[in-house]
Amino acid sequence: MTSLTPKPSQVESWERLPSDWHNDERMDALFAFFKDRDLNPVHYDAKMKFWSETINAFCEDHGLLQIDMPTIVSRFRRKGKTPKCLDKVFDELVKQNRLVSTNDYTNSQQSSWVSWSFNKLASPITSWMSPKTPVDQEVFIIKELVDKKALQVVEALQSQVYVPTFDCVVSFTSFINTCRRCALIDENSINLVISALTRDKKILIDYIGDAKDVKVVKFVAPGASVVRPLTEIENSVLLLRHSKERLEEQLKKSDEQIEGLLADIRRHLKNSNRTAAMKLLRKKKLLEREHEKKEGTIEHLNCVLTQIEQTDCSSLVINAYSSGVQAHKELLRKNGLTPDAVDDMIDEVQEMLENQKELDEALSRPVGNETTDMTELEGELEELLKQPVLPTPVPAAPIPAQKETVNEEYIKPPEQDPFADLELRLQKLGVQESTPNKVPEIASSSQ
């Protein structure tokens, strides 16, 4: 079978080449036929996982969204040997619905709302196989890679959006260039991505111009879920841009023509053919005049496009202001905030502060009939300060306890001491005791 996919780079130069690729013993086991899973399920599952992940990563890095077994077998040739187990790998991927036959994928696309687009854009896909194609020579679609690449293309397009009003439409050529930057190297893979994006309503292919001869692609705007139909504003802006691009192409051609005329004029002058040089010089002047006119037209178109962009930005700013005002009004309404309500609240606060001030003054007034004159109290305090300060009395030594004579037969009651409180009275009178031994002597004489 002749391979239907383009020949990618050799697997040895692949950046994500498996680390076991240079291990001869390991790769011989991986290249061999699958044995019955019941004999060694661990080895069987590890081998299946290795080939599934390796084939998927290889196709992703090389932009291959459709594969066939002969192509993959030839791409993973190693030291003259090819893997003998890929038929089992393909069968398992088909069971997991990770590989979809071209016929099934085509039918699923045609049953959607974009059958017209798929029939037109993916016609090469439908011709890849016939109903009698053997299974081992079937062409399969890697569905998960198609969806992944489609998402990458949309994200790449959205990253270039500056003004969402009309920047979500690009020429079909620009769209194809974006696909190629996402590693989609062949037309069939690009058609698959176009088909998937159209099916999911992420892009819309249309034609603009009076003759509907300009093919454009509108993609879903950032933040939106599906693409919207082409608007009149987008149609007008696209026509302006298309006219500008055509004028720029004409300018390039006129520059080349003017350079060629200059070379011919110099050649005729060198050959002393002034008549031919004069004719070419007139033609050169006409081209230069047309060149200036086109340059002025391009400058005018640039100004118009700039004004449109500024108007759109101004519209976005006005809409943002409007949304902010509405949100502010709703917040004021929800919280009951009005100028009258705020004035009433300020009055209530002022009244509350005045009431509190009156309460503080009332609480600071003296309680009861406090009629004592402060002047009288000050005078009495001055009199007390003028009086002499008496020395602090020194406490007298304690009187030793008197021993009592204890008689076994008779105990004499103690007699009352007439001088017991003498010392206390002397202390109150402020007279210091001169002879500390006087009290004991009197006590002894009384006995």
The token duo for 432 is 């210091």
Render each residue's pLDDT in the chain as its tens digit; 447 residues: 444 444 444 677 888 888 888 888 999 999 999 988 888 989 999 999 999 999 988 988 888 888 888 888 888 988 888 899 888 999 888 888 888 888 888 777 654 444 444 444 444 444 444 444 555 678 888 888 899 999 999 999 999 887 777 778 888 988 999 999 988 888 888 989 998 899 889 998 988 876 777 888 999 988 888 988 888 877 778 788 888 888 888 888 888 989 998 999 899 888 888 888 898 899 989 989 988 888 888 888 888 877 777 776 666 677 777 778 888 888 888 887 788 888 888 888 998 998 888 888 888 776 655 555 677 778 887 888 877 766 666 665 555 555 444 444 445 555 555 555 666 766 666 655 444 444 444 444 444
For residue 140, the cross-strand partners are 67, 101
Convert the pLDDT of each residue in 183-237 to its tens digit. 888 888 898 999 889 988 999 898 887 677 788 899 998 888 898 888 887 777 8
Q: For helices 41-61 and 24-31, what crossing angle results, to 10°?
A: 90
Convert the pLDDT of each residue in 337-353 to its tens digit. 788 888 888 888 998 99
**pLDDT for res 51:** 92
Contact at 8 Å (CB) between 56 and 93?
Answer: no
Convert the pLDDT of each residue in 250-299 to its tens digit. 888 888 989 998 999 899 888 888 888 898 899 989 989 988 888 888 88
CB atoms within 10 A of CB 43: 13
Count Cα neighbours of 294 within 13 Å in the Cβ-side half-sphere.
Answer: 19
- Considering only CA atoms, which of 89, 75, 80, 117 is closest in space to residue 33? 89
- CA trace torsion 391, 397, 398, 404 (10° rounding): -140
**pLDDT for res 155:** 93
**pTM for this predicted structure:** 0.55
CA angle 211, 213, 219 (to 5 degrees): 120
